[in-house]
Structure 1
Amino acid sequence: MLTVFFAVIALLLSSTTDVSAQIEQHSKWKTYTDPADLSNVKVGETIKLYFEVEIEKDWYVYSSDFDKNLGPIVTELAFEKNDAYQVVGDLKAVSPKKKYDDLWGGEYTYFVKKGKFYQVVKILKQDATIKTTLTYQECSEVSGKCIMQEPDFEFKVKAQAGEITETVQNDTQTSVDDTKNEDNNAEDSNENTTIDEETSNTTPSKTTESKTNVTTFDNTQNYIPAGDPFKELPEVTTDLGAESESLWGFMIAAFLSGLVALLTPCVFPMIPMTVSFFTSRSENRIQGIIRAMFYGFSIIGLYTLIGFIVSRFLGDDAANILATHWIPNVLFFTVFLIFAISFFGAFDIVLPSKMVNSIDKQADKGGYVGIFFMALTLVVVSFSCTGPIAGSILVMSAQGEVIKPILGMFAFSLAFALPFTLFAIFPSLLSNLPKSGGWLNTVKVVLGFIELALAFKFLSVADQVYHWGILDRPVYIVIWMSVAFFLGLYLIGKIRLPHDSIIEKLGVGRLLMAVVSFAFFLYLMPGLFGAPLSSLSGYLPPQSTNEFDLVALIRGEDKSEGHSKAKYSDILHLPHGIEGHFEYFEAIEAAKQANQPLFIDFTGHGCVNCREMEASVWNQSEILPILKNELTVVALYIDERQELTEQEKYTSERNGKEMTTVGKRNSDFQIRRFGQNAQPNYFLINPYTHQPLVAPVGKVSTAEFKKFLETGMKEFQKQRLSSSL
């Protein structure tokens, strides 16, 4: 049975492994039209082009009907210019899901599993070939990747003669992808159509203001080669390696939660009782071991079944409700609050006695049936202590996940069942266990404080989505500071709650925990005055809700000073005061002048993990000075819609398409040059050879990112020394 369990886990984990050194696509499209037979269409009539997408598990596709300026990439449809048809209105999304995102500070729409769009087109001539390009972004909550895709579609129309009742200005038709800036919520009317008037197919490039620059290269010069700028670059010879990600981190956290659950007063005293059950009823040691293992597997099976039920009956369809709607979030807040009060000793949460007694009677039966019901009794009786912990795992893992609830509960129950099984197999170990006593209630109260703090996270989500204004950032931080402060007082014995024993001496463990609690209190304090508290960015309300940002006032920097006049710096910016560039060839020249490696940041406005890396890794003291002083930085936005000049536009050898925007050019560069299309994606380049100095990384820890930077810089110095000999 153990072999089967781990085989299943290995299979599930292998399905989450991803090799980013390959071109990825996690969605498949099919098209059809209304009417289905395009030979029945008359000139002057409209047709609908339908685009349906099937999306892989753990991935989603952004829709077309939310604010383009929010951040994520809106799905758009571009048409090849042709006077045989006229585009009517915008691309329409059919029943997408909605979700509020703290990072973007707004609501976006998206599809999971399946999605559908349609576009109305008016036929102007009998022979019409409609060529389209669909630009969209697919993202994963599991791997954190976002990938731009641009599939092409073609529709052939053989229309019958008819009468055109409206005047169409063909010379004003334009690509939706390049210039359209209309309201995505415009009313769609197939019968009473209104032809959209668009006035230009190009956007003048913006002029960059002259500012003080930290480098000496000539910014006024266009460093981009004529034609295809990447055609003459040398072939990449460096081994780019591969990045793999899994759910091991989440499972480890769930496993540790299971160990914590063992220390609750509902569970800990049951360990010796359970062991005595097996030692007294087993005829020999072998039988005792087998029964103990069956008991442990029964506990794992019961908890994993709970995870399966959450996965099966909640899954993706309930993700949006669990994540954003005020009803479940307020409900979770209330439940966590009740659990916290219960842990403080105000009352006990127990399941109905009739239910518990019925299960307990079944446990009195002999054989493996009795053992199973004994495991069920343990799960039920310990519910008041394990329920909040296991429930927290399920709530956090069920938001758009299918595998996580199952794996989370498996890992939790594995830790939970392990000591029962081990002590049943080796009963002599029981003599080394600490005795039950008041310390168990202390564990329960500490968990109550943690539950209280987590409860406000759910209320905060509802508050931000519905703009109640109850929990802005300072109020939230004050609540957490209060929880940490009173937890510290409790641990040093200044506060006593019901069921607590008198503390005659302060143990080392309580003292250390009190120090951690007070330290956390002090860590939170600067957040009241604008400190980013990046390590808690996933739990705190956005920085924009801070009423008083003392940090920004103390800086007092003139925004016109110290900023690069690099190309596109009037519309694009790097975080943390980093001076950098937004165009590859310009950055190459700057890196040569500074004799530094070039750090390439393939990023996107709609890339959540890019922002998280910048907030939690880039700003670290061991990272930020390197990015500011020892590297030339270029941020290449793959979703930037700034239009290229006519001289900069080119046709890519990769797909034969014309690259018309900065984002398309950067995406083409990433795919053609490095064979990758996910963000975030970081490279260190030797500017003299255009070769990567080390294998790239994506979303990684601070230590891994630091190692990546240091390894690349050492390799650069080695190559420069070798070339100068």
Structure 2
Amino acid sequence: MKHIIVFTALFFSILSVFSQDDDNPVKWSQEVKKISDTDYELVLKGNIAEGWHIFSQFTSEGGSLPSEFDYKKVGEGYELLGKTVESETVIEYSDIFEVDEIFFKETAIFTQKIRLLDSSVNQIDINLFYQVCKEVCIPVDQDFSFVLDGGAAVKEEKTIDEHSKTLGAALKLDLKKKELLGNSHDGVETGSSLWMIFGLGFLGGLIALLTPCVFPMIPLTVSFFTKHSQQKSKGVINALLYGFFIVLIYFLLSLPFHIFDSVDSQILNTIATNIWLNIAFFLIFVFFSFSFFGYYELTLPSSWANKMDAASSKIGGVMGIFFMAVTLAIVSFSCTGPILGGLLGSTVLEEGDVAMNLSAGMTGFGVALALPFALFALFPAWLNSLPKSGGWMTTVKVVLGFLELALALKFLSNADLVGNWGILKREIFLGIWIVLFVLLTLYLFGVFKFPHDGPKKKLSLGRKATGFLSAGFSIYIILGLLGVSNLKLLSGFPPPAFYSVFETESDCPLGINCFKDFEEGVAYAKEVNKPILLDFTGWACVNCRKMEENVWSEPDVYEILKEDYVLISLYVDDRKELPESEQFDFKYDTGRVKHIETIGQKWGTFQTVNFNAASQPYYVLMSPDLKILNNAVQYTDSDVYLEWLESGLKNFKSN
């Protein structure tokens, strides 16, 4: 937890410190000293802002990261003479890492001697990685170029071959009336979506309150604030402050995920649909679930909690209350950790801005967790109405364990879909879910127990109600498996209907004839003279499945899709490798070069370059001659979608 908090604070500092280059706390200057015709001395000097420091190349292992130099193309025209020499450093013992750390204050000077092996070499390029620290540490990766004759540095620009240029040019469309795209219309407003995710996080926090790691701490903590304050009002203020810090801590935990948004428009999609990451999520959730079943307990090192607790007692005041909140987060991790993991997992499965979704969810979780501490401080008499701790909390943990297993299966399904392994087909997925919820039902009705369950007692009303709910859900899935129900409540979670153990007429949604290659689809649209529905989708895209199963399945929408449009579905998370002859390097207008080697990379780049979008589902209507027919839409309802399709068809016929 300590490292997580440091990392979130680190990210927050990155945003504030490096929002402008001028704010970098280290100002670098460089100098080249000629020693002889072949020998030179490269000098790099950093002036460090007051209160900041950077670490030596030789700081102790196990502490903060050392500075590291990477001399480009060393041995190709020049060689290094000895090691990089440093100016005077400071040595101090770190209580956090428990090692001696070596670092620079105010000034850092690095000197490296080189010898030319080729007289034509005129420039030495160096990369320096270092950490600049002040309460938190910020990693910096910086390039420097030393010109030996004092001229201007030349930056090497990555070039691409003619084959890549040709394929890259083919990826760019000559769209007509592109201005009609506008801002894609999303029937579910972003604000509403964030509130929904906030609500899910809040629900997760309420569930966490019912676990044995958190529930018993409510009366103890509230009593501490109300009884150990000379004035009642001060005790209430401290309890409210304690609740605020709980919310702040969980919000801060989401901040590192925002950094991905600025790296690559496709990176969050790549992370969410990465096969091995999904398998890792699957294994982690299985591990979490068995901890809820009582086979072992997840705990963070007790020394972390002890240090936080000691800090709260020693410091006192506002910061002391903050460390008390951190202590709560640490000691309750065995119960909150798996729930937070579920929140992270479900957020990754949601489409849209993953980082914003996670921040909303984590904030909701923190608010729910903090709420009782604030309310009971304001109304201490309510403490008498709290139910006593007992076996019911163990039941809550077991129910959560089964839910974790059900969610874990979704990640394994994502990996199977993206990898096209054909292992976890729709019927197998649903069959495993049926087994899980039947077992949950049997547990709730006392047929079997887990290791941490107490002696068998009379079933409570709440346990019976939950058991009947689980049994009803099992029957609902069975009816769906038998084709009696369409399982709309689960749309997006099981694999699509066409991903079946039985042979299907089409591997397209709802059996609609579709193309999975843009050029082939356009050629067919020209042949039949029909408009194109360009569908940017993904195998692991939950909202794509919801649209197909809830919106496309509506009779009016289905009819117009099947009869009046040519459907081109491009899967941006397809990990199948392109034939070698179709792999290429794509160069963006910014100069960045991206290697395209999979089908998903090709269509993801295609979407970004032509439509300036990176989310799925994303729908575009166009004519066969690439004329945009109206605005793009994303996740929306059937009425809006039908009106959009009819408008596009009308515009096509009038042109």
TM-score, normalization by structure 2: 0.53
What 5-or-longer segments of structure 1 have no aligned partner? Answer: 1-115, 123-131, 138-147, 153-239, 561-567, 573-580, 585-601, 641-660, 681-698, 713-725
Paired position in structure 1 for 2:304: 355
1: CA distance, partners of 2:502 / 2:203: 38
Paired position in structure 2 for 1:417: 370
1:421-457 Cα shifts (integer Å, max 9, x gaps): 1112221111121111111111011000111111122
| Counterpart selection for 1:245 from 173, 190, 201 | 190
Paired position in structure 1 for 2:290: 341
Residue type at the aligned position of 2:534: G
1:88-133 Cα shifts (integer Å, max 9, x gaps): xxxxxxxxxxxxxxxxxxxxxxxxxxxx9979599xxxxxxxxx99
Deviation at 1:367, TM superposition (A): 2.0
Deviation at 1:412, TM superposition (A): 1.4
8 Å CA contact retained: 1:300, 1:414: yes
2: CA distance, partners of 1:662 / 1:119: 34
Deviation at 1:387, TM superposition (A): 0.7
Closer, same or farther in 2 for the Cα pair 1:569/1:117, shift >3 Å? closer
Closer, same or farther in 2 for the Cα pair 1:520/1:393, shift >3 Å? same
Residue type at the aligned position of 1:487: L
Deviation at 1:296, TM superposition (A): 1.0
Paired position in structure 1 for 2:331: 381
Q: Do residues 475 (structure 1) and 428 (structure 2) align?
A: yes
Closer, same or farther in 2 for the Cα pair 1:119/1:242, shift >3 Å? farther
Deviation at 1:313, TM superposition (A): 6.5
Q: Do residues 605 (structure 1) and 535 (structure 2) align?
A: yes
2: CA distance, partners of 1:545 / 1:636: 22
1:657-713 Cα shifts (integer Å, max 9, x gaps): xxxx99336974634xxxx3x135xxxxxxxxxxxxxxxxxx3356x769x98xx9x
Q: Do residues 291 (structure 1) and 241 (structure 2) align?
A: no
Paired position in structure 1 for 2:498: 544
Query: 2:212 is paired with a residue of what secondary structure?
Result: coil
Closer, same or farther in 2 for the Cα pair 1:315/1:273, shift >3 Å? farther
| Counterpart selection for 1:664 from 615, 618, 623 | 623
1:565-600 Cα shifts (integer Å, max 9, x gaps): xxx99968xxxxxxxx9859xxxxxxxxxxxxxxxx
Aligned residue runs from structure 1 range 420-435, under 5 A: 420-435=373-388
Paired position in structure 1 for 2:636: 700
Paired position in structure 1 for 2:548: 615
Deviation at 1:473, TM superposition (A): 2.4
8 Å CA contact retained: 2:209, 2:369: yes
Closer, same or farther in 2 for the Cα pair 1:490/1:571, shift >3 Å? farther
Query: 1:340 is paired with a residue of what secondary structure?
Result: helix
Paired position in structure 2 for 1:649: none
| Counterpart selection for 1:281 from 225, 228, 236 | 228
| Counterpart selection for 1:499 from 452, 456, 463 | 452
Residue type at the aligned position of 2:190: E
What count of residue pairs does the alignment treat as equivalent?
A: 410
Deviation at 1:528, TM superposition (A): 4.1
Query: 2:454 is paired with a residue of what secondary structure?
Result: coil
Query: 2:238 is paired with a residue of what secondary structure?
Result: helix
1: CA distance, partners of 2:522 / 2:261: 45
Closer, same or farther in 2 for the Cα pair 1:283/1:636, shift >3 Å? farther
2: CA distance, partners of 1:251 / 1:325: 26
RMSD (Å) for aligned C-alpha atoms:
4.7
| Counterpart selection for 1:445 from 378, 395, 398 | 398
8 Å CA contact retained: 1:135, 1:151: no
2: CA distance, partners of 1:527 / 1:481: 11
8 Å CA contact retained: 2:533, 2:622: no
2: CA distance, partners of 1:484 / 1:416: 28
Residue type at the aligned position of 2:381: S
Query: 1:605 is paired with a residue of what secondary structure?
Result: strand
8 Å CA contact retained: 1:340, 1:451: yes
Closer, same or farther in 2 for the Cα pair 1:635/1:403, shift >3 Å? same
Closer, same or farther in 2 for the Cα pair 1:435/1:370, shift >3 Å? same
2: CA distance, partners of 1:481 / 1:630: 35
8 Å CA contact retained: 2:201, 2:364: yes
Deviation at 1:533, TM superposition (A): 3.3
Aligned residue runs from structure 1 range 36-75, under 5 A: none
8 Å CA contact retained: 2:312, 2:324: yes
What 5-or-longer segments of structure 2 have no aligned partner? Answer: 1-157, 179-184, 514-520, 571-619, 647-655
2: CA distance, partners of 1:442 / 1:299: 26
Deviating more after overlay: 602-611 vs 277-286: 602-611
Deviation at 1:274, TM superposition (A): 0.8
TM-score, normalization by structure 1: 0.48
Closer, same or farther in 2 for the Cα pair 1:314/1:510, shift >3 Å? farther
1:474-507 Cα shifts (integer Å, max 9, x gaps): 2222211111100011111212222323454333
Closer, same or farther in 2 for the Cα pair 1:612/1:344, shift >3 Å? closer
Deviation at 1:518, TM superposition (A): 1.5
Closer, same or farther in 2 for the Cα pair 1:295/1:544, shift >3 Å? same
Residue type at the aligned position of 2:301: P
Paired position in structure 2 for 1:258: 205
2: CA distance, partners of 1:249 / 1:296: 22
8 Å CA contact retained: 2:621, 2:629: no
Residue type at the aligned position of 2:300: L
Give me the identity figure in percent. Answer: 38
1: CA distance, partners of 2:282 / 2:450: 23
Deviation at 1:271, TM superposition (A): 0.5
8 Å CA contact retained: 1:303, 1:409: yes
8 Å CA contact retained: 2:186, 2:633: no
Residue type at the aligned position of 1:334: L
8 Å CA contact retained: 2:202, 2:368: yes
2: CA distance, partners of 1:638 / 1:467: 19
Q: Do residues 515 (structure 1) and 468 (structure 2) align?
A: yes
Residue type at the aligned position of 1:379: A
Query: 1:606 is paired with a residue of what secondary structure?
Result: strand
2: CA distance, partners of 1:456 / 1:631: 32
Paired position in structure 2 for 1:524: 477
The structure carrying a bigger helix percent of its residues is: 2
Query: 1:604 is paired with a residue of what secondary structure?
Result: strand
Aligned residue runs from structure 1 range 24-39, under 5 A: none
Aligned residue runs from structure 1 range 707-718, under 5 A: none
Residue type at the aligned position of 1:604: L
Deviation at 1:373, TM superposition (A): 1.4
Deviation at 1:391, TM superposition (A): 2.1
8 Å CA contact retained: 1:330, 1:462: yes
Deviation at 1:267, TM superposition (A): 0.7
Residue type at the aligned position of 2:629: Q
8 Å CA contact retained: 2:342, 2:407: no
Residue type at the aligned position of 1:543: A
Paired position in structure 2 for 1:404: 357
8 Å CA contact retained: 1:330, 1:458: yes
Query: 1:393 is paired with a residue of what secondary structure?
Result: helix
1:388-438 Cα shifts (integer Å, max 9, x gaps): 111222244357733222222112111111111111222111112111111
Closer, same or farther in 2 for the Cα pair 1:491/1:241, shift >3 Å? closer
8 Å CA contact retained: 1:569, 1:582: no
Residue type at the aligned position of 1:542: P
2: CA distance, partners of 1:407 / 1:376: 20
Paired position in structure 1 for 2:439: 486
Aligned residue runs from structure 1 range 175-254, under 5 A: 244-246=189-191, 247-254=194-201
Closer, same or farther in 2 for the Cα pair 1:278/1:520, shift >3 Å? same
| Counterpart selection for 1:368 from 318, 339, 343 | 318
Query: 1:545 is paired with a residue of what secondary structure?
Result: coil
Deviation at 1:136, TM superposition (A): 5.5
Deviation at 1:606, TM superposition (A): 3.0
Closer, same or farther in 2 for the Cα pair 1:508/1:607, shift >3 Å? same
